[in-house]
Amino acid sequence: MARESGDSFLLPMTLAEVSILLFFLLLFVAVSQIREVESEARRSAAEVEKLQNQMSKVKNLSESEIQKAIEGAKKEKKIERLQEKVSNLQREVSGLDSLIQIRERYSDDEFDELVREASRNINRQQKINRLTERLEEAQSALDSTQNVLGDYRAQSINLTRRLREAGQGYPPCWADEEGNPQYIYTVQLLGDSLAVRPNWPNSREGDLKEVDGASTLAGRKVSRGRFAELAGPVLEWSKRQDPECRHFVVIEDSERTTKEEFKDELLLVERFFYKYIER
C-alpha cells in the first residue's frame, strides 16, 4: 500500500535498503529460473510419456527404438535433477514473502527511487572499500617511512656526536649523496692576507645564491680583517639553518707563510668554516 501523498519520502543511506535491493534482485532471478526449469520439465515429461506409449505397443524393439529408450532414461534423470532444482529455488523464494509485503508499502515511484538509491549506496560502498584499501596501503607506507626516518634520526645523532668528538659539532651545509661534505671555497693562507677561490660543485650554483654573502667573498684576496667581515654573513646564514650547519673549505698553504702566520690565519678561518687541509 503506497504512502499518503502528503508524507515526505526520505531515503536514508542504510544497509537495510541495500539488503532490500539485493532481495528483490534475487527474487526476480529465482522466479525466472523457476519458470525456465518448469518449462523444461514439462517438455521432458511429455517426451518420456510419448516414448513409453510407443514402447507398450511393440514387444520387439528396433535398434533405433532402443536408442530412444536410452535417451528417454537419460531425460528422466534430467527431469529429476530439474525438479530438485525447482524445489530448491522454491524454498529460496518462499523466504522472500516478507519482501513482497515490503514492496506493497511503496508506490511505484517510491519503489523505483528506493532501488536507485540502493544502487547508489552500493556504488558508494565500493568506493569506500577502494578508499579503505588505499588508506591501508598509505598507512603501511607511512609506517615504513617513519621507521626509515627513525633510523636517519638515530644516525644523525650518532654522526653529530662523532663530529663533536672530532671538534666539528655541526653537519655540513652541503653534502653529496653519500654524505660527504661539498666545499664552498678554497682558502689560501698567504701570511698577511687570504685568497678565496670558488670550490663549489656546478650543481650548487643555484644554492649559492641563497647563502648570504657567499658570492661576495668568492674570488677575492683580502686582509684578515676584511676576511672576517665578509665571512660573517655566511656564518650567520649557517646558524639560521635547521639543523644548524657549517660550510666546509679547503685550506692551502703558501711557501712564504711562516708557521706562526699559518696558525693565526687557520684559527681565523675556523671561526667561520670547517676545514680540510691539503697535505
- The pTM for the full model equals 0.44
User: Higher model confidence: residue 279 or residue 58?
Assistant: 279
Rounded to whole angstroms, the Cα distance separating 208 from 153 reads 27
Closest CA to 218 of 208, 203, 204: 208
* H-assigned helices in the chain: 15-57, 63-94, 97-103, 108-165, 205-208, 214-217, 224-240, 259-270
For 47-81, what is each residue's pLDDT tens digit?
Answer: 666 666 655 554 455 666 666 666 766 677 777 77
Domain residue ranges of the chain, discontinuous segments joined by +: 1-168, 183-277
Encode 230-258: b = buried (16+ Cβ within 10 Å), e = exposed.
Answer: bbebbbebbeeeeeebbbbbbbebbeebe
pLDDT digits (tens, 9 = 90+) for 243-272: 899 999 999 998 888 999 999 999 999 999
